[in-house]
């Protein structure tokens, strides 16, 4: 037997016009009545469009994770964190690689809403305030959040505490007895680079450590190798180096050890992100641990709250929530103090 609006109206005790407005998500109708109508429609097997149903009644929720890929383990670890955070729920992710140019990337972001996704997470470091403002204008009333820090926030964001990460590295170096410090920075266009750098520099200045090396680069292994060439030619060499991501540290170690430099006896080095290879690198790599699953869980909680209040407009206050990071000590710095003491 074909189920009609009349059957749902009889089941709920509401008028047919109220049932029609609830299913179409149009006109004025209370959230309680919307829920009653959709529960009845599901119970009676009335054909409905899933993404029109209230969040708590949907069989599946689809979230687009939008980023710009680069080679390496970081993006696999990043996505795995979101996947683990959603385990056991009705939430599913689609992972999308876009360019950050307005003519292609922004058009794709606008299309997410039209392609029946319920929400989106943007991890696009390097976008400006104006870029985020334009994206919000394009997507309108659509749940969305940034997982990359924004200098002047207009979109809500949940991000790792990059500044504290740099600060933790400085504290670790001081505890190991190092006084001359170096840094291999990431791209200057990305705010997280400056936050990590500033965290280290501020600690050094406040605690009497001397910053004797700065090297600006991209976030890749070849840039780490270039940083080693820069280090090799310095007269006043650092005793310990903070690489602003693990790929940079790995590239540096690869070139240094092939050149006969001992890590950490000659120079200690620490990275950032704690990707899986840090445990298998020789020597194993000290790194700032960024808990991707915790980040994913917080972002999902934020988005599901917006979805649960779908009858209200999605608004962005530009709020930023910081996820704490920690330092994982391994061989690339942990043995430095002992080796230096024996050699002195």
DSSP assignments along 77-130, one per residue: HHHHHHHHHTTTSSEEEEEEE--SSIIIIIHHHHHHHHTT-SEEEEE-TT--HH
| pTM assigned to the model | 0.81
Question: Which structural domain range is residue 305 located in?
Answer: 61-155+292-324
Last residue of a domain, one of 35, 57, 79: 57
| pLDDT at res. 112 | 81
Residues 6 or more apart from 275 whose CB is under 8 A from it? 72, 73, 74, 77, 246, 287
pLDDT band at 196 (very low <50, low <70, confident <90, very high): very high
Averaged pLDDT of the chain = 87
- Of the ranges 55-64, 140-149, 253-262, which is most confident? 253-262
| 335 and 299 within one domain | no
| 249 and 179 within one domain | yes
CATH number at residue 317: 3.40.50.2300
pLDDT tens digits for 65-95?
A: 998 887 778 888 999 999 999 988 888 888 8
Last residue of a domain, one of 32, 57, 82: 57
| 177 and 119 within one domain | no
| 200 and 123 within one domain | no
| pLDDT at res. 344 | 41
Apex 80 CA angle, 280 and 57, nearest 5 = 165
| 265 and 179 within one domain | yes
Q: Which of 154, 116, 112, 118 is nearest to 136 (CA)?
A: 154
d(CA 15, CA 252): 71
SS (HEC) of 155-168: CCEEEECHHHHHHH
Instruction: Look at the block and give the residue holding tokens 């709250």.
Output: 305
Residue 313 burial by CB count (10 A; 0-12/13-18/19+): exposed, middle or buried? exposed
Residues in the chain: 344
| Other residues' Cβ atoms within 10 Å of the Cβ of residue 172 | 21
DSSP assignments along 194-228, one per residue: HHHHHHHHHHHHHTT-EEEEEEE--SSHHHHHHHH
pLDDT band at 52 (very low <50, low <70, confident <90, very high): low
pLDDT higher than threshold 60 for residue 282: yes
| 277 and 140 within one domain | no
Interstrand relation of 210-216 and 240-243 (parallel, antiparallel or unpaired): unpaired
Q: What mean pLDDT do residues 283-311 have? A: 90
| 176 and 72 within one domain | no
| Other residues' Cβ atoms within 10 Å of the Cβ of residue 128 | 14
| 274 and 171 within one domain | yes
pLDDT higher than threshold 50 for residue 222: yes
pLDDT band at 183 (very low <50, low <70, confident <90, very high): very high
| 255 and 333 within one domain | yes
- C-beta separation of 164 from 325 below 8 A: yes
Sheet containing strand 91-97, edge to edge, reads 91-97, 61-67, 119-123, 144-146, 157-160, 320-323
CATH number at residue 30: 1.10.260.40
Domains of the chain: total: 3
| 173 and 267 within one domain | yes
Last residue of a domain, one of 36, 57, 78: 57
| pLDDT at res. 308 | 77
Q: What are φ and ψ of residue 280, in 5° steps?
A: -115, -10
| 118 and 38 within one domain | no
| 87 and 32 within one domain | no
């Amino acid at each position: 037997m074909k189920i009609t609006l009349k059957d749902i109206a009889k089941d709920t005790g509401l008028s047919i016009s109220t049932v029609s407005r609830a299913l179409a998500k149009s006109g004025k109708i209370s959230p309680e009545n919307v829920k009653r109508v959709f529960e009845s429609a599901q119970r009676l097997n009335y054909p409905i469009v899933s993404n029109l149903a209230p969040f708590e009644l949907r069989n599946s929720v689809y979230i687009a994770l939008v980023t710009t890929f680069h080679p390496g383990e970081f993006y696999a670890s990043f996505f795995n964190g979101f996947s683990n955070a959603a385990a056991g729920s009705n939430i599913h992710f689609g992972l999308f690689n876009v360019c950050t140019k307005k003519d292609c990337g922004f058009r794709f972001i606008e299309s997410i809403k039209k392609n029946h996704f319920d929400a989106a997470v943007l991890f696009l470091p390097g976008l400006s305030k104006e870029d985020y403002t334009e994206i919000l204008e394009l997507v309108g009333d659509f749940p969305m959040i940034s997982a990359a820090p924004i200098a002047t926030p207009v979109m809500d964001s949940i991000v790792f505490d990059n500044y504290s990460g740099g600060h933790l590295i400085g504290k670790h170096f001081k505890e190991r007895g190092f006084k001359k410090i170096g840094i291999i920075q990431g791209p200057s266009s990305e705010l997280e680079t400056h936050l990590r750098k500033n965290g280290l520099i501020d600690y050094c200045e406040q605690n009497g450590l001397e910053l004797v090396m700065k090297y600006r680069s991209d976030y890749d292994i070849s840039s780490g190798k270039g940083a080693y060439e820069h280090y090799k030619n310095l007269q006043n060499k650092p005793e310990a180096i903070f690489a602003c991501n693990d790929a940079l540290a790995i590239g540096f170690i690869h070139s240094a050890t092939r050149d006969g430099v001992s890590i950490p006896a000659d120079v200690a080095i620490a990275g950032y992100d704690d990707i899986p290879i840090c445990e298998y690198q020789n020597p194993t790599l000290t790194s700032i641990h960024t808990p991707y699953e915790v980040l994913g869980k917080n972002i999902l909680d934020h988005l599901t709250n917006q979805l649960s209040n779908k009858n209200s407009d999605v608004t962005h206050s530009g709020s930023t929530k910081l996820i704490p990071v920690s330092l994982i000590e391994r061989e690339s710095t942990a043995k430095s103090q002992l080796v230096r003491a024996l050699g002195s």
